[in-house]
């Protein structure tokens, strides 16, 4: 049985068609290829407005975005949460700010500081391409360290705050998405402003 697919000779094609095919092939060969940059979806950011978190019984207050919700945390990375641990959920960006709090006693201050550094460095050193820590000092007498992590890490922004005598609070911004520094960069920068606003408005009770 003869094969179904047969090579059709150019000799059987009409002359105008042959000329058109040859012209298009020559045009394609001489046309420079242009590389296209990788693109991401355009993001419409909401207006920066804030509300006060001032719940009875909590040892701290601060302002957080109106496009976020605060819920009490029941677990924190598979560990039992403390009495004043909360999550600030930002569903619009599929993100969450974990806020943990521990009272400072005479014997635990050094270990709390060490844990703050360990949480930033230990779990992310292998993935991050760089970690920068900077001192925090606010007009409300709050001090601490802010950690900026570069690379495809699960969190690019962490911090801890303390008055060194009674209070110690730690915060970390996470996304419920595959870590990608390029695609999350613009959202990270937007929410980083909210983290700084939270820090600068935080007050101890």
Percent of the chain with pLDDT over 70: 66
- 14 falls within a domain: no
- 27 falls within a domain: no
Average pLDDT over residues 82-111: 93
**Separation of alpha carbons 163 and 203, rounded Å:** 10
- Please report the pLDDT score of residue 149 as a whole number: 79
pLDDT digits (tens, 9 = 90+) for 152-187: 666 778 999 999 999 999 999 988 866 555 567 788
| Residue span of the structural domain in which 161 resides | 50-204
Please give the structure tokens belonging to residue 75. 């677990």
- Please report the pLDDT score of residue 7 as a whole number: 46
Q: Is the dihedral of CA 109, 111, 114, 120 positive or negative?
A: negative
**Separation of alpha carbons 133 and 120, rounded Å:** 9
- 57 falls within a domain: yes
25 has a pLDDT exceeding 60:
yes
42 has a pLDDT exceeding 60:
yes
- 190 falls within a domain: yes
- 8 falls within a domain: no
- Please report the pLDDT score of residue 175 as a whole number: 86
Average pLDDT over residues 116-140: 77
39 has a pLDDT exceeding 50:
no
58 has a pLDDT exceeding 70:
yes
Average pLDDT over residues 135-149: 93
Q: Does 178 or 59 have the greater pLDDT score?
A: 59
State CA 131 to chain mean position distance: 14
Q: What are phi and psi of 87, to 5 degrees?
A: -120, 135
Helix runs in 31-177, H state only: 109-121
78: left (phi over 0), alpha (psi -120 to 50) or beta: left
Average pLDDT over residues 129-135: 81
- Mean pLDDT of all residues belonging to the chain: 80
Answer whether 175's CB lies under 8 Å from 94's CB: yes
Confidence of residue 88 (pLDDT cuts 50, 70, 90): very high
- Please report the pLDDT score of residue 21 as a whole number: 58
- 114 falls within a domain: yes
103 has a pLDDT exceeding 90:
yes
Q: Can you give the CATH number for the domain in which 150 is found?
A: 3.40.1000
Average pLDDT over residues 112-121: 89
- Please report the pLDDT score of residue 6 as a whole number: 46
Please give the structure tokens belonging to residue 79. 């560990």
**Separation of alpha carbons 91 and 110, rounded Å:** 35
- Please report the pLDDT score of residue 48 as a whole number: 96
Closest CA to 132 of 96, 161, 156: 156
Count structural domains, the chain: 1
- 165 falls within a domain: yes
In terms of Cβ atoms closer than 10 Å to its own Cβ (0-12, 13-18, 19+), residue 70 is middle
């Amino acid at each position: 049985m003869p094969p179904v697919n047969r090579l059709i000779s150019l000799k059987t094609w009409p002359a105008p068609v042959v000329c058109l095919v040859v012209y298009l092939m020559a045009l394609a060969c001489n046309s420079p290829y242009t590389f296209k940059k990788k693109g991401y979806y355009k993001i419409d950011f909401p207006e920066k407005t804030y509300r006060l978190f001032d719940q009875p019984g909590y040892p701290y207050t601060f302002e957080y975005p109106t496009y976020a919700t605060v819920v009490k945390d029941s677990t924190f990375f598979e560990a039992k949460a403390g009495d004043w641990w909360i999550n600030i959920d930002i569903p619009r960006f599929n993100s969450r700010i974990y806020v943990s709090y521990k009272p400072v006693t005479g014997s635990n201050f050094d270990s709390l500081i060490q844990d703050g550094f360990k949480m930033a460095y230990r779990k992310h050193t292998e993935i991050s391409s760089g970690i920068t820590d900077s001192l925090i000092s606010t007009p409300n007498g709050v001090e601490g360290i802010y950690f900026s992590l570069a690379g495809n890490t699960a969190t690019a922004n962490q911090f801890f705050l303390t008055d060194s005598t009674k209070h110690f609070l730690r915060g970390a911004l996470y996304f419920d998405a595959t870590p990608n520094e390029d695609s999350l960069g613009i959202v990270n920068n937007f929410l980083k402003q909210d983290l700084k606003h939270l820090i600068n408005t935080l007050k101890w009770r």
